[in-house]
Amino acid sequence: MALRKPTEARAWAALAEHYRQVSALHLRDLFAADPSRAKDLTFEAAGWRVDCSKHRITRETVALLVELAEECGLPARRDAMFRGERINVTEGRPALHIALRLPRGRSLVVGDEDVVPQVHRVLDRMADFATRVRLGAWKGHTGDRIRNIVNVGIGGSDLGPAMVYEALRFYADPNLQVRFVSNVDGSDLALALRDLDPASTLFIVCSKTFTTLETMVNARSAREWLLAKLKDPRAIQRHFVAVSTNEAAVREFGIAPENMFGFWDWVGGRYSVDSAIGLSTMIAIGPDGFREFLSGFHAMDEHFRSAPLHRNVPVLLGLLGVWYVNFFGCQSWAVVPYDHCLRRFPAYLQQLFMESNGKSVNLLGESVGYATSPVVWGEPGTNGQHSFFQLLHQGTVLVPCDFIGFCEPQSSLEHHHDFLIANLFAQAEALAFGRSAEEVAARGVPAGLVPHRTFPGNRPSTMLMAPRLTPRTLGALIALYEHVVFTQGVVWSINSFDQWGVELGKELADRIVPELRGSGALAHDPSTNAWIEYYRARRSRKA
Ligand code: F6P
């Protein structure tokens, strides 16, 4: 495979030199020198308005970053992804989540199969099932109407559906409660079930592999809970459905194939919220809402596929990440949605970014020798302002921020919204422009307090806004970040679609489980041996 190491690209050296020239410039100076900067560095994509002007960049930075993307083969790699080529080289598969949102009637032939009709067949089955649950036509074993949905899954089989359900609560059927159980800690399942009636509860067991320890332990306990109350194994067929690629394991669990919704190995777990993994979302918001959601993804896909790189929003945001990580040395990136309903969005992005690009070898298996994914984290505004924003404004590390907001509120408490949005704009302004020591002193602040009350500013942020949080704008936002991750993965020459780094811990845990329950000799390191002994002596015998 011909591979362009980013550090060997001409643009990389040019960016290193350019960094020396511009890194000391203050955003105040950049704005003063270029009055049309705000307008020229603001872009539109799939219903989103994205302002990059509060970044420590000039037009030359953008040009050099775009050149880097070109030298690293971004357009060709993007087109290969859209054609369904096996770009996930370590697992020998395409990464074809874009096919999940292709409109009916389009075609995408992979091997000798058109995947689009397959996608729509599953969507139609999901729609039929979701409609029956919503209308009460799908009944529980005892004839009760389903009122509670419990999604059992973890990682991509949980974070996506859980985030989207919270995000779209105002679009969801209020007569249905949807809960999410992911943690193998029994408290998660116990708390989710303690006030539910099994007769009106439907479990959706979501697992691409249907072998994931946490999900299978939770699903088995959920099955026991149900059978303990309903006393008839036939009840499983009315109270359990599965979303998976592993039909044999689903059958073995006791769920009939007609109650299984499939997807394909070319859908990565963290890229699966728009596949059948979104079944809980479809039940909550209805099939039409789910189609709107998919249309948002598709609109952003089209933008990513066709917009010129220098106006391509996912490309630009991805390249800004490269700029700060590789040239400024930033190791952390904050995502702060100013929308309470997006409170799970930072957690969702953590998996998307860090499981995709938290890698230290390139596509050829060579050590990369440069930084890759930053740590992604965040909390909704305004809550974050009263916890970690102190560090963002006056701390010693530079943390670029993505601010996300909407012009219209979702709740009927409309007068709250101006307070929310005023804070959103104020934080971005304060981070960028700060307040100098002279300005502080001029306000009559005693000299001894001036350093404490000075804000250096020059702290970069992106502002992303859409008119309203809808299924469509949410779909577009998720797709935007998927393509940001892709862009960064291409520049860093890494495979954004595998996750071998999660395997070792799983393997060791499998070995330790019987050791905790037994009394035999241990052959770990002295520290791990001591912890196992400590736990053995104290563990609850009921376990
Ligand atoms: O944590 C590793 C991982 O494989 C994720 O990539 C995935 O989203 C999650 O586990 C769940 O996997 P599955 O859907 O197969 O249960």
Contacts of residue 485, Cβ cutoff 8 Å, sequence gap at least 6: 318, 352, 353, 356, 357, 496
Beta-bridge partners for 51: 42, 463
Place of tokens 């040395």: 329
> In angstroms, what is the span from residue 154 Cα to ligand 1's centroid?
6
Digits of tens for pLDDT over the chain (543 positions)? 567 799 999 999 999 999 999 999 999 999 999 999 999 999 999 999 999 999 999 999 999 999 999 999 999 999 999 999 999 999 999 999 999 999 999 999 998 899 999 999 999 999 999 999 999 999 999 999 999 999 999 999 999 999 999 999 999 999 999 999 999 999 999 999 999 999 999 999 999 999 999 999 999 999 999 999 999 999 999 999 999 999 999 999 999 999 999 999 999 999 999 999 999 999 999 999 999 999 999 999 999 999 999 999 999 999 999 999 999 999 999 999 999 999 999 999 999 999 999 999 999 999 999 999 999 999 999 999 999 999 999 999 999 999 999 999 999 999 999 999 999 999 999 999 999 999 999 999 999 999 999 999 999 999 999 999 999 999 999 999 999 999 999 999 999 999 999 999 999 999 999 999 999 999 999 999 999 999 999 998 665
> What's the CA-to-centroid distance between 6 and ligand 1, angstroms?
30
3-class state of residue 464 by DSSP: strand
Q: Is 81 in the pocket of ligand 1 (CB under 6 A)?
A: no
Look at residue 4 in the predicted model and tell me its pLDDT: 79
- The answer to whether 309 touches 75, Cβ cutoff 8 Å, is yes
Closest-lying ligand 1 atom to the alpha carbon of residue 212: 16
Binding site membership of 215 for ligand 1 (Cβ less than 6 Å): yes
Ligand 1 atom with the shortest distance to the CA of 214: 16
Is the model's pTM score more than 0.95?
Answer: yes
SS3 455: strand
Other CB atoms within 10 A of residue 449 CB: 11
Q: From the CB of residue 194, how many other CB atoms can be counted at a distance below 10 Å?
A: 7
Residue 537, CA distances (Å) to 35, 284, 418, 523, 525 in order: 70, 46, 57, 18, 19
CA atoms of 132 and 129, how far apart (whole Å): 5
Residue 243 Cβ contacting ligand 1 at under 6 Å: no
Catalytic residue annotation: 355, 386, 506
| 194 vs 201: CA distance, rounded Å | 12
Distance 500 CA to ligand 1 centre (A): 11
Q: What's the 321 CA to ligand 1 centre distance in angstroms? A: 26
Is the C-beta atom of 76 inside 6 A of ligand 1?
A: no
* Ligand 1 site, residue 270, Cβ cutoff 6 A: yes
Atom of ligand 1 nearest to the CA of 154: 11
Secondary structure, 3-state, 361-428: ECCCCCECCCCCCCEEECCCCCHHHHCCHHHHHHCCCCCCEEEEEECCCCCCCCHHHHHHHHHHHHHH
Ligand 1 centre and the CA of 144: distance in Å? Answer: 33
Q: With contact defined as beta carbons under 8 Å apart, do 90 and 500 qualify?
A: yes
Write down the number of H helices and E strands in the chain: 21, 13
Asked if residue 154 has its Cβ within 6 Å of ligand 1, the reply is yes
Count of residues making up the chain: 543
Ligand 1 centre distance from Cα of residue 472 (Å): 26
Specify which residues 139 forms β-bridges with: 145
Q: Is 499 in the pocket of ligand 1 (CB under 6 A)?
A: yes
Which residue lies with its CA nearest to atom 9 of ligand 1?
Answer: 155
Answer yes or no: is the C-beta of 151 below 6 A from any ligand 1 atom. no
Longest dimension (CA), the chain: 78
Angle between helices 313-322 and 471-491 (to 10 degrees): 50
Backbone angles phi, psi at 450, to 5 degrees: -55, -50
Q: Closest ligand 1 atom to the C-alpha of 215?
A: 16
Residue ID of nearest Cα to ligand 1 atom 2: 502
Q: Among candidates 96, 99, 195, which has minimal Cα distance to 150? A: 195
Q: What angle do CA 266, 362, 347 make, to 5 degrees?
A: 60
CA of 499 to the centre of ligand 1 (A): 9
Q: Which helix (H) or strand (E) holds 93?
A: none
Is residue 280 within 8 A of residue 148, CB to CB? The reply is: no
Pocket of ligand 1 contains residue 208 by CB under 6 Å: yes
